[in-house]
Structure 1
Amino acid sequence: MIEMTVAGIALDASNRKTPIVLLKDGTGRRALPIWIGDNEARAILMALENHRVPRPLTHDLLGNILKTCDVLLERIVIHSLQDNTYYAILSLRQGETVKEVDARPSDAIALALRCDCPIWVMESVVADASIPVDRDADEEERQAFREFLDSIRPEDFSQQGRGIEDSSTS
């Protein structure tokens, strides 16, 4: 397994501006793009920006339930890619008991960010779906990409007028 971190959220310009969460490996040489729904993109961005809301949203609520029940989210694992759909599990520990729960990667990532737990991806998934990151890219291009990622906000994913439904392909 390869530990990965969230590099940010991007919009797929070729696909009706569908959000993509970008995971990167520790070396920064590979990125794993996962197409996600608007709500999950908003939830991930809110966690990345430490944005707090007056009342808990779904992923906040689930994190609160885990904490209240003394359940630790040890890690999430994106374990397979089948027919362009990623599959993940939540690894939960309560005392000596460990259980795995099926989850969409987008929801698992949003929860992992809130619970400060690691994101792991199976080597086979990285081999099949990752894209190389050009480490020799011009610094100007890297800076422009960083600025683009920094400019994206949760409100950019408003569903009004977009005609995009919540996708279960993540």
Structure 2
Amino acid sequence: MSLVKLTIKGISYSQTQNGAYALILNEADGDRKLPIVIGAFEAQSIAIALEKEIKPPRPLTHDLFKNFADRFDIVVKQVIIHKLVDGVFYSSIICERDKIEEIIDARTSDAIALALRFHAPIFTYKNILDKAGIYLKGNKETDEDGQDVDDVLSNPDTFGQEESNESKGAYVKFSLSELTDLLNAAVAEEDYEKAAKVRDEISKRE
């Protein structure tokens, strides 16, 4: 299976649900986006790593892991999102120490937070992107400063509490064709968080 490189587009937050975040990954050599719903703590950690000017007064968990790895000469070489089951992404962290490679299982949000700190590339397999990637249609929206709306990251200081479970199973009652319509509408509105959840429900049925 061929690997596809991904870049981080940003973090989208829900205007209607407190604590709901979607990490947006871009296909490096294509137009597809891979939205992944993540928790508030992981979203904050990723946002802080992206915003170079922000330095927490004390190390976050992912910063601690980076400091620990540096102290013992462990390098994260790459992160691979290798599996998608029932809407859940599974990832591996490829590490190296003394020229010996190790593969460590990790939650995707944690793996990406570490990849940012180690400046390591992020990959997924083509079949996962074929199944879960979405295309954006139409023109990008811009804010009053002319910046792409979906380039804007949430302020790391404003992240809420744990992600709500309210929407889990919210789309079970819809038919596959209705879910497809909902997905297309969410993509058109650039509501990545909703698109990711609808996409995950579709994936469960395929």
TM-score range, shorter chain: 0.7 to 0.9
Q: Note closer, same or farther for the CA distance 1:67–1:151 as it changes in structure 2 (3 Å cut).
A: closer
Unaligned runs of 5+ in 2: 166-206
CA RMSD across the alignment = 2.2
Per-residue deviation, 1:14? 6.6
Specify the alignment match of 2:27 in structure 1. Answer: 25
Specify the alignment match of 1:3 in structure 2. Answer: 5
Give the residue type in structure 1 aligned to 2:133.
Answer: S
Specify the alignment match of 1:150 in structure 2. Answer: 152
Q: Do structure 1's residue 58 and structure 2's residue 58 form an aligned pair?
A: no
Give the residue type in structure 2 aligned to 1:63.
Answer: K
Specify the alignment match of 1:138 in structure 2. Answer: 139
- Compute the TM-score of the two structures, normalised by the length of structure 1: 0.85
Per-residue deviation, 1:17? 5.4
Q: Secondary structure at the match of 2:148?
A: helix
Specify the alignment match of 2:164 in structure 1. Answer: 164
Q: Render the CA deviation track for 1:10-38: whole Å, top value 9, x for unaligned.
A: 02457655100000011350100000000
Q: Render the CA deviation track for 1:97-144: whole Å, top value 9, x for unaligned.
A: 10000000000111111111000111111111110133xx335x2x24
Mapped to 2, the partners of 1:163 and 1:108 lie a distance apart of 19
Q: Render the CA deviation track for 1:33-87: whole Å, top value 9, x for unaligned.
A: 0000000000010011022112111000001111111011000000010011100
Mapped to 2, the partners of 1:113 and 1:71 lie a distance apart of 15
Mapped to 1, the partners of 2:46 and 2:112 lie a distance apart of 7
Unaligned runs of 5+ in 1: 166-170
Q: Note closer, same or farther for the CA distance 1:14–1:79 as it changes in structure 2 (3 Å cut).
A: farther
Contact 1:28-1:133 at 8 Å conserved across structures: no
Specify the alignment match of 1:94 in structure 2. Answer: 97
Mapped to 1, the partners of 2:105 and 2:136 lie a distance apart of 30
- Compute the TM-score of the two structures, normalised by the length of structure 2: 0.71
Mapped to 1, the partners of 2:38 and 2:56 lie a distance apart of 22
Per-residue deviation, 1:150? 2.2
Contact 1:59-1:111 at 8 Å conserved across structures: yes
Q: Secondary structure at the match of 1:64?
A: helix
Tell me which structure has the larger Cα radius of gyration: 2
Mapped to 2, the partners of 1:5 and 1:114 lie a distance apart of 14
Contact 2:10-2:150 at 8 Å conserved across structures: no
State the number of aligned residues.
160
Give the residue type in structure 2 aligned to 1:46.
Answer: I
Contact 1:80-1:124 at 8 Å conserved across structures: no
Matched-pair identity in % = 33
Contact 2:12-2:153 at 8 Å conserved across structures: no
Mapped to 2, the partners of 1:126 and 1:163 lie a distance apart of 24
